[in-house]
Amino acid sequence: MIKEEGKFKWIEEGKGEQPIILLHGLMGGIENFGEMVDFISAEYKVYGLDLKLFEGSLLKVSVKSLSDYLYKFMNHLGLKKAVLIGNSMGGHIGLIFSKEHPEMVDGLILTGSSGLYESAMGDSFPRRGDKDYIREKTEEVFYDPKVATDELVDNVFAIANNRISTLKLLGYARSAIRHNMAEDLPNFTMPVCLIWGEHDKVTPPKVAHEFHSLLSNSELNWVPLCGHAPMWEHPETFSKIVLRWLKAKF
């Protein structure tokens, strides 16, 4: 169920007392969570926030501004606390939000999160006009390249060939590099569930190990035959880990 009120657009599914907020990545949208929403919303209230990455002013392009947007969204809905599930840059937004508003975060679930390792975000990508290159880079996100459908490649290609969208894309990537979280993570006390694809090329397994070592209250889980987006590539496996962790912690 897609809802729109004021400047916010989101999906809202399920019921239950523990709210879950989904935060998508740089090249994605709320649809990235797909089937996973069906599994999780059977037991929990799930909100998938559209971060509207390519709307608004170039001057407001930063992971910090997206954390502020999440804060406004929670206030708009009257949510005092939630568990945040973030993929890629969505995880980074969750980390910044947790640093600034720890009282509003029951727990964090990070999958392929940025925040420690950003060299894969925007160094040579996107290359405008070269659809084969865009397809290759999109396929690298997944273990199974067939997950990168023609529709997905077309969406990424459209972003890469829009000058303003490209500037925003690179702006977010540079902002992510500036907001490295290595010095902040040891101060986090909320429970954190790390779910990583064993074959993640964007944020490789060593990144998951580093998150795990820096976060004192974390659990590390691996998804085999999986790339950078476990919730998309293996929604049932991902959801089972999430549900087990949620039931153990809350």
Whole-prediction pTM? 0.93
Q: Specify the pLDDT at position 53.
A: 92
Estimate the crossing angle of helix 150-160 against helix 163-178, to 10 degrees.
Answer: 90
- The enclosing H or E element of 170 equals helix 163-178
- Residues whose CB falls within 8 Å of the CB of residue 222, separated by 6 or more in sequence, listed in order: 196, 197, 198, 205, 208
pLDDT by residue, tens only, the chain of 250 residues: 789 999 999 999 998 889 999 999 987 788 878 899 999 999 999 999 999 998 888 878 999 999 999 999 999 999 999 999 999 999 999 999 999 999 999 999 999 999 998 654 444 455 666 889 889 989 999 999 999 999 999 998 998 889 898 889 889 988 988 999 999 999 999 999 999 999 999 999 999 999 999 999 999 999 999 999 999 999 999 999 999 999 999 8
**Structure tokens of 41?**
């919303």
- Angle, CA of 7, 8 and 10, to the nearest 5°: 160
- Residues whose CB falls within 8 Å of the CB of residue 232, separated by 6 or more in sequence, listed in order: 32, 33, 34, 36, 87, 142, 147
Q: Give the N- to C-terminal CA distance of the chain in Å, as an integer.
A: 26
CATH code for 2-118+180-249?
Answer: 3.40.50.1820
**Structure tokens of 124?**
């040579």
Q: Specify the pLDDT at position 26.
A: 85
- Residues whose CB falls within 8 Å of the CB of residue 145, separated by 6 or more in sequence, listed in order: 139
